[in-house]
Amino acid sequence: MKVKKGIRIYKRKADAEFAAERSTKVNGSEAEVRKVRVLDEEAAQEKGLSVHPDLSIAAEAPKEGESGWITVKEEGDELKHYDEVLEAIEE
């Protein structure tokens, strides 16, 4: 089975919160939810980002200007790897 690398962008905040809670339980490290906007559609696809309308495995390619919710580790800087494709949005 091929494991997809990259960040999942959830369209609904509740789905991202559920994923963060689940990740915390499974991995033992705290995760938080952040709102982001896609800056570069092509680069986002190259980096493996995907947009999820719900918690299923159904996914869409990210589109420029599209916003959604992601989960990140509280102590991690994994968003730095995506600086050119994602912009953090304050709530």
Q: What percent of the chain has pLDDT over 70?
A: 88
Q: Which of 13-27, 30-44, 47-61, 63-77 has the lowest mean pLDDT?
A: 63-77
The kind and range of the H/E element at 87 are: strand 86-89
pLDDT band at residue 80, thresholds of 50, 70 and 90? confident
Where in the chain are the domains? 8-89
Residue 1, pLDDT > 50, answer no
The kind and range of the H/E element at 29 are: none
* Contact call for residues 33 and 70 (beta carbons, < 8 A): yes
Alpha-carbon 78 to chain mean position: 11
Tens of pLDDT, residue by residue over 14-37, are 999 999 998 888 888 788 899 999
What is the average per-residue pLDDT within 63-68? 96
